[in-house]
Structure 1
């Protein structure tokens, strides 16, 4: 049976998902809403707002959509899966309640504590208790300390504070900056965990969970992991931070307890579960859960997937994942984000992008923040494009990626030149 698929989203992650879904023998027609100039080459872009659930439902019914795939977190946290399923339609993505693992850091931390899933020690405070939070942090006098806005903040609501002055500054910012809004009505204060970060991506049908792949993201804007947090400046996969034994521990101590506890809570988790981890001297600990593919990790891992992504998604939505196998190739992939200079703060849009057609057939270019205007591709966001290269070894993948990065240009192009360097340190 061929499937009509609606993919919701417009970023680099969704372009990578569209690229992977478009390769499936099970696909009939692919629609992407709202999509971007890159996804338009793989299916039909549809002008739908991700917050207009009624319009999405009408489209699903008019076009005979067999499976709706949700890319970004916001519609999941807002309940798009429940809404479409209540109207008789199949969705790949967790329910509103299950998506609280990402939608509320307080919920996630309390869930982990209750179910003995290893994570950082934490306290939570309402916004009117921020002074109390400051007082407790001062008294403990242990730095760095991690401050997190409880709700969704586009990857920019987490601050690692080295001093009391920085804590005061970030608390004031969380309280007063309009961009945080409801996300900062509750504050989570966590201990700083030392170790190496890694991301493990799991697909689940609520009962069965299978690891798809694992990667390492680079969140900070600056070289050497300095500066402000971003949505992600690059990633590579697989990461040598995780060996086979560590992966077994992660599955046993984190993934299976998470999926089992959600099921026991009558809250089965269906979709992609992103486990952001810190590999500490005590073992793996959860930094955060996400209820969808990471961006840009998705762009680095999907090119390695030899299994049919659409087939896996349909099986997960139908609670038949136990009948499927997940297979990846043995190559390394590196993804470098091309951003607008000034991101994650103020930046200029509308710069013409050139050189995309010069990129080698061995590499992939995924659009993130772009638009097409008068036949030209222009910048239209902070993170503009993702360049993904591969190789038999990690050094080869990194070298091949940066060779292609040089071919694409726009007026205020910025990128980190050290994506994957932490992985190299493990194998040298």
Structure 2
């Protein structure tokens, strides 16, 4: 089989490595891919993830048997719709279903209409009205741009002045472009956060192993928000009892709501949850695999990934048992110094001659230079993932492997998994 994976980051590298395990896979094309992904797939750097006509033309010309559309932008732009139109099976939601991430207003209204637990909120399309509302609000508060904003369109002001500045930044200065034409202002929830990705064909659902992300740039959750500086799986706060509550009150109701709205969701549905004192609530939905959650979840998948994805596409997921390892995984992100603000690119990367069997390097932001050397090309450069029988072992192995990779300005957090380990000791 010839496969196509749309995307070019660490998430896509994790997907590609897992797909390669299927013996029927001959060639995987990555559009655009990156320097490290080129070790596992044929990269086509000249085709970007938003160039839907070029993606479709490439798929037709290269007799693609199955496509995986991984990032949010091409999903929201209808990449799956266009590929389906030319007869190419795909993993991922169509554009109507992708609205569950592409529009915060859509997703919040969906939850309100169908009684899915989430934070109380109001929607605004006029900055003056939003500013008037904030004068009556309690702080801290959460302000979200409606549309896609590279995971950075959520601000948490601590007081009225910060909230007014946030509205101005999003709605007037257009820091996130048209994504800020509307905003959602919602109550600030407290409790442990949990990420649960789930395979679904619109009716059946198979949740993946839970995970814990680390968004802040600095140790002890300090500094700016990032795309994610590391992850661990499973998340100790996601107990069997919590999982059952989520299935009954969030997961199945969400699928039913999407069907009722005429936009059944097929693909990977990401539930960003908070375990509040009043029970689990939805912070956000994503219409695709999380990054870097994918880098710790897929290494624990025992069932063949392509088989699962085909069952999602064919709507036969109910007939498939999806199995997971009992172990744990940890991912430490190696970032460029200065990320997520200003950082330099083009730093030559050095690697060990070999890595332990339980360690995988997922390439996120690098490229090949003119001398075929891997050099940095992004903020998050590499995800170093280790799988082991316990989380403590996985973290030890991931950090040991992270020390063997080097580039000028390399930056990493040193406390990934610390909170998870502490939670496990308290139980």
TM above 0.5: yes
Is contact 1:358–1:407 with CA below 8 Å preserved after alignment? no
> Match for residue 243 of structure 1?
239
Report the Cα distance in structure 1 between the residues aligned to 2:340 and 2:179, rounded to whole angstroms: 18
Is contact 1:98–1:268 with CA below 8 Å preserved after alignment? yes
Give runs of aligned pairs for residues 409-420 of structure 1, distance below 5 A. Answer: 409-420=406-417
> Match for residue 75 of structure 2?
76
Report the Cα distance in structure 1 between the residues aligned to 2:31 and 2:250, rounded to whole angstroms: 33
The alpha-carbon distance between structure 1 residues 178 and 339, as it changes in their structure 2 partners (threshold 3 A), is farther
Among 272, 276, 279, which residue is 2:275 paired with? 279
Structure 1 residue ranges, 4+ long, deviating more than 4 angstroms after superposition:
176-179
Give runs of aligned pairs for residues 299-378 of structure 1, distance below 5 A. Answer: 299-373=295-369, 374-378=371-375
Q: What's the secondary structure of 1:268's corresponding residue?
A: coil
> Match for residue 14 of structure 1?
12
Q: What's the secondary structure of 1:295's corresponding residue?
A: coil
Is contact 1:236–1:300 with CA below 8 Å preserved after alignment? yes
CA RMSD of aligned residues (A): 1.3
> Match for residue 86 of structure 1?
85
Residue 122 in structure 1 maps to residue 118 in structure 2:
no
Q: What's the secondary structure of 2:210's corresponding residue?
A: strand
Residue 408 in structure 1 maps to residue 405 in structure 2:
yes
> Match for residue 133 of structure 1?
130
Q: What's the secondary structure of 2:185's corresponding residue?
A: strand
Give runs of aligned pairs for residues 16-415 of structure 1, distance below 5 A. Answer: 16-47=14-45, 48-126=47-125, 129-140=126-137, 142-177=138-173, 179-373=175-369, 374-415=371-412
Greater CA deviation, 241-250 or 55-64? 55-64
Residue 426 in structure 1 maps to residue 423 in structure 2:
yes
Deviations 1:267-315 (A, max 9, x none): 1110000000000111110000000000000001100000000110011
Report the Cα distance in structure 2 between the residues aligned to 1:204 and 1:254, rounded to whole angstroms: 14
Report the Cα distance in structure 1 between the residues aligned to 2:299 and 2:293, rounded to whole angstroms: 11
Unaligned runs of 5+ in 2: none
Is contact 1:155–1:229 with CA below 8 Å preserved after alignment? no
Cα distance, 1:32 vs structure 2: 1.0
Report the Cα distance in structure 2 between the residues aligned to 1:339 and 1:411, rounded to whole angstroms: 10
Is contact 1:349–1:381 with CA below 8 Å preserved after alignment? yes
Report the Cα distance in structure 2 between the residues aligned to 1:46 and 1:138, rounded to whole angstroms: 51
Report the Cα distance in structure 2 between the residues aligned to 1:50 and 1:390, rounded to whole angstroms: 30
Report the Cα distance in structure 2 between the residues aligned to 1:389 and 1:51, rounded to whole angstroms: 32
Report the Cα distance in structure 1 between the residues aligned to 2:50 and 2:248, rounded to whole angstroms: 37
Cα distance, 1:197 vs structure 2: 0.2
The alpha-carbon distance between structure 1 residues 177 and 357, as it changes in their structure 2 partners (threshold 3 A), is farther
Report the Cα distance in structure 1 between the residues aligned to 2:265 and 2:75, rounded to whole angstroms: 12
Q: What's the secondary structure of 2:209's corresponding residue?
A: strand
Is contact 2:231–2:293 with CA below 8 Å preserved after alignment? yes
Cα distance, 1:397 vs structure 2: 1.3
TM-score (norm 2): 0.96
Cα distance, 1:49 vs structure 2: 2.2
Deviations 1:52-98 (A, max 9, x none): 22222222112111111011110001111111112222111001010
Unaligned runs of 5+ in 1: none
Cα distance, 1:36 vs structure 2: 1.2
Deviations 1:327-360 (A, max 9, x none): 1101110011111121111111111111243533
Greater CA deviation, 70-79 or 400-409? 400-409
TM-score (norm 1): 0.96
The alpha-carbon distance between structure 1 residues 178 and 130, as it changes in their structure 2 partners (threshold 3 A), is closer
Report the Cα distance in structure 1 between the residues aligned to 2:417 and 2:393, rounded to whole angstroms: 11
Is contact 1:338–1:415 with CA below 8 Å preserved after alignment? yes
Is contact 1:158–1:229 with CA below 8 Å preserved after alignment? no
Report the Cα distance in structure 2 between the residues aligned to 1:78 and 1:341, rounded to whole angstroms: 33
Deviations 1:161-201 (A, max 9, x none): 11222212222222354541011111110100000000111
Greater CA deviation, 207-216 or 97-106? 207-216
Is contact 2:216–2:225 with CA below 8 Å preserved after alignment? yes
Report the Cα distance in structure 1 between the residues aligned to 2:380 and 2:41, rounded to whole angstroms: 22
Report the Cα distance in structure 2 between the residues aligned to 1:22 and 1:70, rounded to whole angstroms: 16
